Amino acid sequence: MDAVLKSLSVRAPEAADKRSDAPRPERVTERPTRQEAEAAVRTLLRWAGDDPEREGLIETPQRVVKAYEQIFGGYRQDADAILDRVFEEVEGYSDIVLVRDIAFHSHCEHHMVPFMGRAHIAYYPRRGVVGLSKLARVVDAFARRLQTQETMTAQIAETIDSVLHPRGVAVMLEAEHLCMAMRGVQKSGVSTITTQFTGVFKQDPTEQVRFLTLVRDRR
Ligand SMILES: Nc1nc2c(ncn2[C@@H]2O[C@H](COP(=O)(O)OP(=O)(O)OP(=O)(O)O)[C@@H](O)[C@H]2O)c(=O)[nH]1
Ligand SMILES: [Zn+2]
């Protein structure tokens, strides 16, 4: 079961242990109603300096909430379940499988501003392979949450590792963070690269080089 889904599970307030020496209870997160979410958008529109009642903005809160359902739909997805179908009839194929240039859009957890880029994923199958699209679906399941690039990289690698038990997983994300481009330090065109390796990719630097070479080789 996916840790983020678990951390967002709703618990009754009385279930929390009130003793001061007790371990910290699991976070209680009540999902607000759609009406509450739309009211929050109206507040932000007023905070930005606009009039939420003017014609162009009157339906914007509904649209924003609908957009959030898609953009943050990853909270309602179980990433492990995406990988539950394994194809074993692959004539014993056990060499590298690399899916590169998986485009993704996410939002940074610090500013709720988009960061976007490409994910490259490789694994050495141990017992069959998964559908290639499923790797892209795992990327989306984590991208459609509030994220840091590092966390997202680790979550993708951990999910593939723990569900498929391959001989190794390599994940690389390259992304541009609009919170660095549109605001704050205002540097455009900066890429951030993150990698996470498990198994043979972690143990053997030549496997890392093979992965990086295949990611970079554009012939
Ligand atoms: N490590 C990491 N940092 C991120 C990511 N996305 C955004 N950030 C950074 O998160 C930091 C938040 O810094 P704070 O000082 O708390 O916030 P801030 O005052 O808005 O920072 P500035 O962006 O420098 O204006 C910034 O340096 C962002 O560039 C990410 O995915 N990974
Ligand atoms: Zn940010």
Pair (153, 94) in one structural domain:
yes
**What are the residues whose beta carbons fall under 8 Å from the beta carbon of 135, sequence distance 6 or more?**
99, 102, 121, 160
pLDDT at 171: 98
Q: Which domain holds residue 174?
A: 86-216
**Are residues 67 and 90 part of one domain?**
no
The pTM of the full predicted model, rounded to 2 decimals, is 0.88
* 124 sits in which H/E element: strand 114-124
Residue 77 lies in a domain: no
Q: Is residue 123 part of a domain?
A: yes
Assess whether 162 and 111 both reside in one domain: yes
pLDDT tens for 5-45 read: 444 444 333 333 444 455 555 666 789 999 999 999 999 99
How would you classify residue 49: left for phi > 0, otherwise alpha for psi between -120 and 50, otherwise beta?
Answer: left
Instruction: Please indicate, yes or no, whether residues 116 and 66 belong to a single structural domain of this protein.
Output: no
Q: How confident is the model at residue 91 (pLDDT cuts 50, 70, 90)?
A: confident
Same domain, 43 and 110: no
Q: Are residues 59 and 158 both part of a single domain?
A: no
Instruction: State the CATH number of the domain containing residue 63.
Output: 1.10.286.10
Degrees to nearest 5, angle at CA 140 with 202 and 76: 115
Among 71, 94, 122, residue at a domain's last position: 71
Distance 88 CA to ligand 1 centre (A): 43
Contact 139, 156 (CB under 8 A): yes
Task: Answer yes or no: is 26 within a domain.
Answer: no
Domain boundary residue, one of 71, 99, 132: 71
- Would residue 17 count as lying in a domain? no
- Is residue 109 part of the annotated active site? The answer reads yes
One-letter amino acid of 123: Y
Neighbours of ion ligand 2 (CB under 5 A): 108, 110-111, 179
Q: Which amino acid is at 41?
A: V
| CATH (domain of 99) | 3.30.1130.10
- Distance in angstroms (rounded) separating the CA atoms of residues 87 and 178: 39
Q: Kindly state whether residues 171 and 200 are assigned to the same domain.
A: yes
pLDDT of residue 5: 46
pLDDT tens digits, one per residue of 163-190: 999 999 999 999 999 999 999 999 999 9
* Rounded Cα–Cα distance for residues 2 and 77 (Å): 9
Which tens digit of pLDDT belongs to each residue from 131-163? 999 999 999 999 999 999 999 999 999 999 999
Do 65 and 100 fall within a single domain?
A: no
Domain presence at residue 13 = no
Catalytic residue among 77, 147, 149, 155: 149
User: Would 22 be classed as within a structural domain?
Assistant: no
Residue 6 lies in a domain: no
- Residue among 153, 179, 188 whose CB has most ligand 1 atoms within 8 A, to mutate: 179
Residue nearest to atom 13 of ligand 1 (CA): 110
* 151 contacts: CB under 8 Å, gap ≥ 6: none
**65 and 102 part of one domain:** no
Residue 111 marked ligand-binding: yes
Query: How many independent structural domains does the chain possess?
Result: 2
Classify residue 100 by its DSSP letter. Answer: E
Q: Which ligand is nearest to the CA of 185?
A: 1
pLDDT over threshold 80, residue 219 = no
Q: Is the ipTM of this complex over 0.85?
A: yes
Q: Identify the residues whose C-beta falls under 6 Å from ligand 1.
A: 108, 110, 148-150, 177, 179-180, 184-185
Contact 181, 132 (CB under 8 A): no
Please indicate whether residue 150 is annotated as part of the active site: no
Q: Is 120 annotated as a binding residue?
A: no
Asked if 134 and 183 sit in the same domain, the reply is: yes
Among 106, 107, 110, the mutation site with the greatest number of ligand 1 atoms within 8 A of its Cβ is 110
My answer on whether 41 and 98 are in the same domain is no
18 domain-assigned: no
Do residues 53 and 91 both lie within one domain? no
